[in-house]
Amino acid sequence: MSRPPTEVVPLAQPVIGEAEEQAVLEVLRSGQLSLGPRVPAFEERFAARVGAAQASAVSSGTTGLHLALRAAGVGAGQEVVTSPFSFVASANVAAYEGARPVFADIDPVTLNLDPQAAAAAVTERTAALLPVHIFGYPADLPAFEAMGLPVVEDACEALGARHHDGPAVGGRGNPAVFGFYANKQLTTGEGGMITMGADPALKARIDSERNQGRAPDMGWLDHDRLGFNYRLSDIACAIGLAQLDRLDDMLAGRARVAGWYREALAGLERERGLGLPCPDGARHAGEQRGWFVFVVQVPRGGPTRDEVMLALRDRGVQSKPYLPAIHLMSFYRETYGYREGQFPVCEDVAASSLALPFFPRMRADQVERVTAALADVLG
C-alpha cells in the first residue's frame, strides 16, 4: 500500500474570505439575526441573477423542494415523477406529503431524467414532475413543460446553468429550488432559494409556510395555514449576498478546473474507457452546465468504483461515490417495493460514478496529482 503524500487533495473547499466575515459581523452587531433586511435583499438579488420574477429564501434545498411541491398541490395518494439518480431529498419531499415518488430512468449521456421515460410513467394520479438538473447539467425542461403537468425543478446543483432555448436555470417561471450547502456554487453554509414566476400569491404562500404558517401581516396570534420552521437567517443571507458578489469568479474557477480535468483525463478516456462528464450542448445546442462536481465513470474490466476510491485515498486524494440509486435504498425498497433491474441506466451509472476533487480555487498541480493517481490505480 502506498503512503499518502503530506498534502491531501480535498474533495471540496468553499471560497470564504474577508467579505463574508465582514457581512456576518455587521449582522451580529445589528442585533437582528433573523427576519431582518438581508433576507429580502438576498432574495431580490438572487432572483435578478437567474432572471426570475421573485424568490423565497429557505433553510435548505430540501425544505425548498418540499414547499414548492406543496404549492404545486401535491398531496396524499398522488404521484410525483422524478429521477432515481439524485440526492435522496428530491424523492423524500414527495413522501413528506404522502405522495408516491415514481421513478423513471435517466438519459445515458446527460444523466438527467429521460423525458420519454418520464412520460411513460405518468398516470391519472400524477400531480407533478420533478426533474433534477444533475451535477449542474440542465434537464430538458421544454420537453417536461410540454406534458401539461406542474413542474418543480430541482436546481440545487445547477446555479450558473443555461437551457438551450435561452433562460438560465431558475428563470423559466416554474418553481425552481437551489441549494447553498458548503460544496455548492454559492454557499451560505446551509440554505436554499425557491425562484418562481410573478404570481404574488405563490410567494405569499411559500413565505408564510416557511414561517410556521404565520398570517401575511406577520401577526403572532393568527397562523392561518399549516407551516414549518424553514426560514433562512439574516446571517446566512448576509453570507449569500457576499457570495453573489464573487459568483462570476467562482463559476469561472469551476469551469477552468473542469477544463484542466478534461484535458488531463483525455488519455484515460481514450485508452482506458474512463467516462467523463458530457460536454455543453450534449443533447441540444446552447445548453450550458453550471459546474457543481466533476464526476467520472469508472470503466468496466478493471478495479471497481469502490476499489478505485480506496486506492485514491491511499494516495492522498479524496473522492466520493456520486450518487447511489435512490430506488435501491432500504427505505424505498421496503416502502414502495422498488428492486434491482427497474432502471438499468441509472443502476449502471450509479455503480460506476466517482466524484473527484473539485472546487473553484483548485490548483493545476492538484489536478495533475489527481490525474496521476487515477491513472496509477486504473493501470
Which residues partner with 195 through β-bridges?
A: 55, 176
Last residue of a domain, one of 200, 218, 245: 245
Please check whether residues 153 and 286 belong to one and the same domain.
no
Please give the torsion angle defined by the CA atoms of residues 203, 208, 209 and 215, in that order, rounded to the nearest 10 degrees. Answer: -140
**Domain ranges, residue 319:** 247-378
DSSP-assigned states of every residue in 152-172: -EE-TT-TT-B-TTSPBTT-S
DSSP 108: T
Tell me the C-alpha distance between 243 and 24, whole Å. Answer: 12
Tell me the C-alpha distance between 40 and 37, whole Å. Answer: 6
Q: Mark 192-223 as b/e (b = at least 16 C-beta within 10 Å).
A: bbbbbeeeeebbebbbbbbbeebeeeeeeeee
pLDDT at 199: 97
pLDDT in tens, the chain (379 residues): 444 556 899 999 999 999 999 999 999 999 999 999 999 999 999 999 999 999 999 999 999 999 999 999 999 999 999 999 999 999 999 999 999 999 999 999 999 999 999 999 999 999 999 999 999 999 999 999 999 999 999 999 999 999 999 999 999 999 999 999 999 999 999 999 999 999 999 999 999 999 999 876 766 667 889 999 999 999 999 999 999 999 999 999 999 999 999 999 999 999 999 999 999 999 999 999 999 999 999 999 999 999 999 999 999 999 999 999 999 999 999 999 999 999 999 999 999 999 999 999 999 999 999 999 999 999 8
Which residue among the candidates 184, 205, 214, 254 is catalytic per the annotation? 184
Q: Please compute Rg for the chain using Cα positions.
A: 21
Question: Taking CA 75 as the corner, what is the angle to CA 73 and CA 80, rounded to the nearest 5 degrees?
Answer: 85
Please check whether residues 22 and 147 belong to one and the same domain.
yes
Distances (CA, A) of 314 to 105, 306, 379: 35, 13, 15
Please check whether residues 98 and 174 belong to one and the same domain.
yes
Please check whether residues 227 and 142 belong to one and the same domain.
yes
Please check whether residues 240 and 251 belong to one and the same domain.
no
Question: Cell match 392561518: residue?
Answer: 224
Please check whether residues 230 and 263 belong to one and the same domain.
no
Please check whether residues 194 and 46 belong to one and the same domain.
yes
184 given a catalytic annotation? yes
- 3-class DSSP state of 333: helix
- Domain tally for the chain? 2
Residue 82 near residue 91, CB atoms below 8 Å = yes
Please check whether residues 350 and 258 belong to one and the same domain.
yes
Helices 18-30 and 234-245: angle between axes, nearest 10 degrees: 150
Distances (CA, A) of 329 to 145, 232, 248, 305, 338: 29, 30, 37, 18, 9
Please check whether residues 366 and 233 belong to one and the same domain.
no
| CB neighbour class for 159 (10 Å; exposed up to 12, middle 13-18, buried from 19) | buried
Distances (CA, A) of 275 to 267, 270, 302, 369, 375: 11, 9, 13, 19, 13
* 7 within a domain of the structure (yes/no): no
CATH number at residue 341: 3.90.1150.10
Other C-beta atoms lying within 10 Å of the C-beta of residue 287: 21
Which residues partner with 30 through β-bridges?
A: none
* 6 within a domain of the structure (yes/no): no
Tell me the C-alpha distance between 274 and 327, whole Å. Answer: 26
45 contact partners, CB below 8 Å, separation of at least 6: 241, 244
